A and B are shown apart, each in its own frame.
Chain A
Protein backbone atom coordinates (compact mmCIF):
# COMPACT_ATOMS: atom_id res chain seq x y z
CA UNK A 1 0.00 0.00 0.00
CA UNK A 2 1.13 3.51 -0.81
CA UNK A 3 2.12 5.18 2.48
CA UNK A 4 0.39 8.44 3.48
CA UNK A 5 3.50 9.93 4.97
CA UNK A 6 7.17 9.11 4.71
CA UNK A 7 9.80 10.79 6.84
CA UNK A 8 13.47 10.26 6.06
CA UNK A 9 16.53 11.49 7.93
CA UNK A 10 14.57 14.36 9.46
CA UNK A 11 16.68 16.73 11.55
CA UNK A 12 15.91 19.98 13.27
CA UNK A 13 18.63 22.13 14.76
CA UNK A 14 17.47 24.82 17.15
CA UNK A 15 20.58 26.75 18.00
CA UNK A 16 24.19 25.75 17.47
CA UNK A 17 24.61 22.32 18.99
CA UNK A 18 20.98 21.85 20.08
CA UNK A 19 19.23 19.24 17.97
CA UNK A 20 15.46 18.97 18.44
CA UNK A 21 15.31 16.08 15.99
CA UNK A 22 18.29 13.94 15.13
CA UNK A 23 17.50 11.77 12.13
CA UNK A 24 13.88 10.58 12.31
CA UNK A 25 12.72 7.74 10.04
CA UNK A 26 9.00 7.02 9.99
CA UNK A 27 6.36 5.73 7.59
CA UNK A 28 2.61 6.12 8.12
CA UNK A 29 0.21 3.79 6.28
CA UNK A 30 -3.44 4.72 5.54
CA UNK A 31 -5.75 4.26 8.50
CA UNK A 32 -2.99 3.79 11.08
CA UNK A 33 -3.46 5.28 14.54
CA UNK A 34 0.06 5.92 15.79
CA UNK A 35 0.87 7.12 19.28
CA UNK A 36 4.16 8.95 19.64
CA UNK A 37 5.44 8.65 23.19
CA UNK A 38 8.52 9.91 24.93
CA UNK A 39 9.66 12.23 27.71
CA UNK A 40 9.28 16.02 27.62
CA UNK A 41 11.85 17.59 25.34
CA UNK A 42 12.31 14.40 23.32
CA UNK A 43 11.14 16.21 20.18
CA UNK A 44 7.55 14.97 19.84
CA UNK A 45 6.04 18.41 19.24
CA UNK A 46 8.87 19.41 16.92
CA UNK A 47 8.33 16.24 14.89
CA UNK A 48 4.63 16.94 14.41
CA UNK A 49 5.22 20.59 13.52
CA UNK A 50 7.84 19.63 10.94
CA UNK A 51 5.16 17.57 9.14
CA UNK A 52 3.18 20.69 8.18
CA UNK A 53 6.15 23.06 8.47
CA UNK A 54 4.85 25.14 11.32
CA UNK A 55 8.51 24.55 12.18
CA UNK A 56 10.97 24.40 9.30
CA UNK A 57 13.08 21.22 9.38
CA UNK A 58 16.84 21.67 8.99
CA UNK A 59 17.53 18.48 7.03
CA UNK A 60 15.77 15.44 5.62
CA UNK A 61 12.59 14.83 3.68
CA UNK A 62 8.88 14.59 4.38
CA UNK A 63 6.65 13.11 1.70
CA UNK A 64 2.87 13.46 2.06
CA UNK A 65 0.69 11.61 -0.49
CA UNK A 66 3.60 11.63 -2.93
CA UNK A 67 4.29 15.36 -2.52
CA UNK A 68 7.54 16.81 -1.22
CA UNK A 69 6.56 18.86 1.83
CA UNK A 70 9.97 20.35 2.62
CA UNK A 71 10.42 21.94 -0.81
CA UNK A 72 6.78 22.82 -1.45
CA UNK A 73 6.14 26.45 -2.44
CA UNK A 74 3.59 28.61 -0.66
CA UNK A 75 0.60 27.41 -2.67
CA UNK A 76 1.56 23.75 -2.51
CA UNK A 77 2.20 24.03 1.22
CA UNK A 78 -1.27 25.54 1.78
CA UNK A 79 -2.83 22.65 -0.10
CA UNK A 80 -0.77 20.12 1.88
CA UNK A 81 -1.74 21.76 5.18
CA UNK A 82 -5.39 21.79 4.12
CA UNK A 83 -5.26 17.99 3.86
CA UNK A 84 -3.49 17.57 7.23
CA UNK A 85 -5.57 18.34 10.30
CA UNK A 86 -3.88 19.49 13.48
CA UNK A 87 -5.09 19.33 17.07
CA UNK A 88 -3.22 21.36 19.70
CA UNK A 89 -2.57 20.90 23.40
CA UNK A 90 -3.95 24.37 24.17
CA UNK A 91 -6.81 23.98 21.66
CA UNK A 92 -5.69 27.16 19.78
CA UNK A 93 -9.21 28.33 19.06
CA UNK A 94 -10.19 31.89 18.21
CA UNK A 95 -11.93 32.46 21.50
CA UNK A 96 -13.92 35.53 20.50
CA UNK A 97 -15.49 33.76 17.55
CA UNK A 98 -18.43 31.37 17.66
CA UNK A 99 -17.97 27.63 17.97
CA UNK A 100 -19.32 27.15 14.44
CA UNK A 101 -16.94 29.75 13.01
CA UNK A 102 -14.04 27.94 14.68
CA UNK A 103 -15.02 24.66 13.05
CA UNK A 104 -15.40 26.41 9.69
CA UNK A 105 -11.82 27.66 10.01
CA UNK A 106 -11.00 24.11 8.96
CA UNK A 107 -12.32 25.04 5.52
CA UNK A 108 -10.08 28.12 5.10
CA UNK A 109 -7.44 26.06 3.30
CA UNK A 110 -9.92 25.39 0.52
CA UNK A 111 -11.19 28.91 -0.12
CA UNK A 112 -9.55 32.14 -1.28
CA UNK A 113 -8.25 34.98 0.87
CA UNK A 114 -11.14 37.33 0.22
CA UNK A 115 -13.92 34.76 0.61
CA UNK A 116 -12.30 33.61 3.85
CA UNK A 117 -11.89 37.13 5.22
CA UNK A 118 -15.55 37.86 4.55
CA UNK A 119 -16.60 34.54 6.07
CA UNK A 120 -18.25 33.32 2.84
CA UNK A 121 -18.21 29.60 3.53
CA UNK A 122 -20.31 27.35 1.26
CA UNK A 123 -23.65 26.33 2.83
CA UNK A 124 -22.72 22.66 2.47
CA UNK A 125 -19.61 23.28 4.61
CA UNK A 126 -21.76 24.89 7.29
CA UNK A 127 -24.13 21.93 7.35
CA UNK A 128 -21.25 19.50 7.66
CA UNK A 129 -19.66 21.57 10.41
CA UNK A 130 -22.90 21.49 12.41
CA UNK A 131 -23.18 17.73 11.81
CA UNK A 132 -19.64 17.28 13.16
CA UNK A 133 -20.47 19.29 16.27
CA UNK A 134 -23.59 17.19 16.83
CA UNK A 135 -21.52 14.05 16.56
CA UNK A 136 -19.18 15.11 19.37
CA UNK A 137 -22.12 16.21 21.52
CA UNK A 138 -21.84 19.98 21.08
CA UNK A 139 -25.16 20.54 19.31
CA UNK A 140 -26.24 23.03 21.99
CA UNK A 141 -23.00 25.01 21.82
CA UNK A 142 -22.97 25.79 18.07
CA UNK A 143 -23.52 29.54 18.46
CA UNK A 144 -21.76 30.03 21.77
CA UNK A 145 -18.54 32.00 21.89
CA UNK A 146 -15.58 29.62 22.10
CA UNK A 147 -14.36 31.09 25.40
CA UNK A 148 -17.63 30.11 27.10
CA UNK A 149 -16.82 26.40 26.78
CA UNK A 150 -15.02 24.12 29.22
CA UNK A 151 -11.61 22.67 28.40
CA UNK A 152 -12.95 19.35 27.17
CA UNK A 153 -15.56 21.09 25.02
CA UNK A 154 -12.94 23.42 23.55
CA UNK A 155 -10.81 20.46 22.55
CA UNK A 156 -13.80 18.77 20.91
CA UNK A 157 -14.21 21.96 18.85
CA UNK A 158 -10.52 21.62 17.97
CA UNK A 159 -11.18 18.03 16.85
CA UNK A 160 -14.13 19.18 14.72
CA UNK A 161 -12.00 21.88 13.11
CA UNK A 162 -9.43 19.26 12.10
CA UNK A 163 -12.16 16.91 10.82
CA UNK A 164 -13.82 19.74 8.85
CA UNK A 165 -10.67 19.80 6.72
CA UNK A 166 -11.55 16.29 5.48
CA UNK A 167 -7.90 15.41 5.99
CA UNK A 168 -5.97 12.27 5.06
CA UNK A 169 -3.86 12.65 8.18
CA UNK A 170 -4.45 14.17 11.59
CA UNK A 171 -1.60 15.41 13.73
CA UNK A 172 -2.59 15.65 17.38
CA UNK A 173 -0.08 17.32 19.67
CA UNK A 174 -0.75 16.29 23.27
CA UNK A 175 -4.52 16.64 22.77
CA UNK A 176 -5.40 15.62 26.32
CA UNK A 177 -2.45 16.94 28.31
CA UNK A 178 -4.49 19.88 29.67
CA UNK A 179 -7.65 17.89 30.41
CA UNK A 180 -9.10 15.95 33.33
CA UNK A 181 -9.41 12.15 32.97
CA UNK A 182 -13.10 12.17 32.01
CA UNK A 183 -12.71 14.83 29.32
CA UNK A 184 -9.54 13.10 28.16
CA UNK A 185 -11.49 9.97 27.39
CA UNK A 186 -14.26 11.86 25.56
CA UNK A 187 -11.71 13.69 23.42
CA UNK A 188 -9.63 10.59 22.64
CA UNK A 189 -12.81 8.70 21.74
CA UNK A 190 -13.88 11.53 19.43
CA UNK A 191 -10.52 11.51 17.64
CA UNK A 192 -10.30 7.72 17.50
CA UNK A 193 -13.86 7.02 16.32
CA UNK A 194 -13.80 9.64 13.58
CA UNK A 195 -10.37 8.62 12.30
CA UNK A 196 -11.53 4.99 12.15
CA UNK A 197 -14.79 5.76 10.36
CA UNK A 198 -13.30 8.11 7.82
CA UNK A 199 -10.07 6.15 7.40
CA UNK A 200 -7.94 9.07 8.47
CA UNK A 201 -4.40 8.21 9.53
CA UNK A 202 -3.47 9.76 12.86
CA UNK A 203 -0.22 10.67 14.56
CA UNK A 204 -0.89 11.55 18.17
CA UNK A 205 1.68 12.73 20.69
CA UNK A 206 0.85 11.40 24.08
CA UNK A 207 2.34 11.86 27.48
CA UNK A 208 0.46 8.98 29.03
CA UNK A 209 1.63 5.50 28.08
CA UNK A 210 -1.65 3.86 29.13
CA UNK A 211 -3.67 6.05 26.77
CA UNK A 212 -1.23 5.21 23.99
CA UNK A 213 -1.68 1.49 24.63
CA UNK A 214 -5.47 1.78 24.80
CA UNK A 215 -5.97 3.56 21.48
CA UNK A 216 -3.00 3.07 19.18
CA UNK A 217 -2.48 0.47 16.48
CA UNK A 218 1.22 1.22 16.61
CA UNK A 219 3.54 2.96 19.01
CA UNK A 220 6.57 5.08 18.22
CA UNK A 221 8.94 5.89 21.07
CA UNK A 222 11.12 8.96 20.74
CA UNK A 223 14.07 9.86 22.88
CA UNK A 224 16.55 12.72 22.32
CA UNK A 225 15.27 13.35 18.80
CA UNK A 226 15.58 9.72 17.63
CA UNK A 227 13.10 6.89 17.13
CA UNK A 228 14.08 4.25 19.70
CA UNK A 229 10.96 2.07 19.41
CA UNK A 230 8.57 1.44 16.55
CA UNK A 231 6.15 -1.44 16.69
CA UNK A 232 2.71 -2.76 17.64
CA UNK A 233 1.35 -2.17 21.14
CA UNK A 234 2.08 -5.73 22.30
CA UNK A 235 5.79 -5.28 21.71
CA UNK A 236 6.02 -2.27 24.01
CA UNK A 237 7.40 -4.01 27.07
CA UNK A 238 7.90 -2.35 30.41
CA UNK A 239 11.66 -2.58 29.79
CA UNK A 240 11.27 -0.36 26.76
CA UNK A 241 9.12 2.21 28.53
CA UNK A 242 11.62 2.10 31.36
CA UNK A 243 14.38 2.91 28.90
CA UNK A 244 12.33 5.64 27.18
CA UNK A 245 11.67 7.49 30.38
CA UNK A 246 15.02 6.74 32.01
CA UNK A 247 15.82 9.41 34.52
CA UNK A 248 12.34 10.84 34.05
CA UNK A 249 10.29 7.96 35.46
CA UNK A 250 8.01 10.34 37.31
CA UNK A 251 6.58 11.46 33.97
CA UNK A 252 5.35 8.00 33.12
CA UNK A 253 2.91 8.04 36.01
CA UNK A 254 2.10 11.68 35.67
CA UNK A 255 -1.66 11.93 35.30
CA UNK A 256 -1.75 8.21 34.56
CA UNK A 257 -5.43 7.42 34.73
CA UNK A 258 -7.93 5.85 32.42
Chain B
Protein backbone atom coordinates (compact mmCIF):
# COMPACT_ATOMS: atom_id res chain seq x y z
CA UNK B 1 0.00 0.00 0.00
CA UNK B 2 1.27 3.42 -0.99
CA UNK B 3 -0.04 6.51 0.75
CA UNK B 4 0.40 10.07 -0.33
CA UNK B 5 -0.79 12.89 1.89
CA UNK B 6 -1.39 16.52 0.93
CA UNK B 7 -2.25 19.15 3.51
CA UNK B 8 -4.45 22.11 2.73
CA UNK B 9 -5.32 24.12 5.83
CA UNK B 10 -7.43 21.95 8.12
CA UNK B 11 -7.91 19.38 5.38
CA UNK B 12 -5.70 16.38 4.75
CA UNK B 13 -6.05 14.53 1.47
CA UNK B 14 -4.66 11.01 1.41
CA UNK B 15 -4.40 9.15 -1.87
CA UNK B 16 -4.20 5.37 -1.44
CA UNK B 17 -2.61 3.11 -4.01
CA UNK B 18 -2.66 -0.66 -3.90
CA UNK B 19 -4.80 -3.33 -2.24
CA UNK B 20 -6.49 -2.54 1.07
CA UNK B 21 -6.93 -5.85 2.88
CA UNK B 22 -6.09 -7.27 6.31
CA UNK B 23 -2.43 -7.53 5.33
CA UNK B 24 -2.05 -3.86 4.39
CA UNK B 25 -4.54 -2.61 7.03
CA UNK B 26 -2.07 -2.22 9.87
CA UNK B 27 0.46 -0.24 7.85
CA UNK B 28 -2.29 1.96 6.41
CA UNK B 29 -3.84 2.57 9.82
CA UNK B 30 -0.50 3.42 11.46
CA UNK B 31 0.48 5.75 8.63
CA UNK B 32 -2.79 7.69 8.77
CA UNK B 33 -2.88 7.77 12.59
CA UNK B 34 0.66 9.16 12.74
CA UNK B 35 -0.40 12.05 10.53
CA UNK B 36 -3.67 12.54 12.44
CA UNK B 37 -1.71 13.16 15.64
CA UNK B 38 -1.80 16.73 14.42
CA UNK B 39 -5.10 17.74 16.01
CA UNK B 40 -5.48 20.75 13.75
CA UNK B 41 -6.53 18.37 10.96
CA UNK B 42 -10.32 18.46 10.97
CA UNK B 43 -11.14 16.98 7.63
CA UNK B 44 -9.75 13.82 6.09
CA UNK B 45 -10.37 13.04 2.44
CA UNK B 46 -9.47 9.51 1.38
CA UNK B 47 -8.96 9.16 -2.35
CA UNK B 48 -9.58 5.54 -3.37
CA UNK B 49 -8.76 6.04 -7.05
CA UNK B 50 -5.60 3.94 -6.88
CA UNK B 51 -7.16 1.17 -4.75
CA UNK B 52 -7.59 -1.90 -6.92
CA UNK B 53 -8.97 -4.15 -4.19
CA UNK B 54 -10.67 -3.69 -0.85
CA UNK B 55 -12.47 -6.10 1.46
CA UNK B 56 -14.12 -5.71 4.86
CA UNK B 57 -10.71 -5.30 6.54
CA UNK B 58 -10.29 -2.08 4.56
CA UNK B 59 -13.75 -1.01 5.63
CA UNK B 60 -12.63 -1.45 9.24
CA UNK B 61 -9.68 0.89 8.66
CA UNK B 62 -11.91 3.59 7.17
CA UNK B 63 -14.57 3.27 9.89
CA UNK B 64 -11.83 3.57 12.52
CA UNK B 65 -10.49 6.79 11.00
CA UNK B 66 -14.06 8.12 10.80
CA UNK B 67 -14.31 7.65 14.58
CA UNK B 68 -11.03 9.49 15.15
CA UNK B 69 -12.24 12.48 13.11
CA UNK B 70 -15.67 12.44 14.72
CA UNK B 71 -14.13 12.55 18.20
CA UNK B 72 -12.42 15.83 17.32
CA UNK B 73 -15.53 17.28 15.67
CA UNK B 74 -14.14 16.78 12.18
CA UNK B 75 -15.28 14.78 9.20
CA UNK B 76 -14.20 12.16 6.74
CA UNK B 77 -14.93 11.89 3.03
CA UNK B 78 -14.22 9.17 0.54
CA UNK B 79 -13.78 9.72 -3.16
CA UNK B 80 -13.26 7.75 -6.35
CA UNK B 81 -14.15 4.28 -5.04
CA UNK B 82 -14.54 1.70 -7.82
CA UNK B 83 -17.72 -0.31 -8.32
CA UNK B 84 -16.79 -3.30 -6.12
CA UNK B 85 -15.49 -1.12 -3.32
CA UNK B 86 -18.55 1.10 -3.55
CA UNK B 87 -20.72 -1.99 -3.11
CA UNK B 88 -18.97 -2.87 0.17
CA UNK B 89 -19.33 0.72 1.36
CA UNK B 90 -23.05 0.70 0.53
CA UNK B 91 -23.59 -2.63 2.26
CA UNK B 92 -22.01 -1.29 5.42
CA UNK B 93 -24.11 1.87 5.52
CA UNK B 94 -20.91 3.95 5.76
CA UNK B 95 -22.39 6.58 3.42
CA UNK B 96 -24.71 7.69 6.20
CA UNK B 97 -21.55 8.61 8.18
CA UNK B 98 -19.10 9.90 5.60
CA UNK B 99 -19.34 12.09 2.53
CA UNK B 100 -18.68 10.56 -0.80
CA UNK B 101 -17.70 12.23 -4.04
CA UNK B 102 -16.44 11.40 -7.50
CA UNK B 103 -18.28 8.12 -8.01
Partners in one complex: no
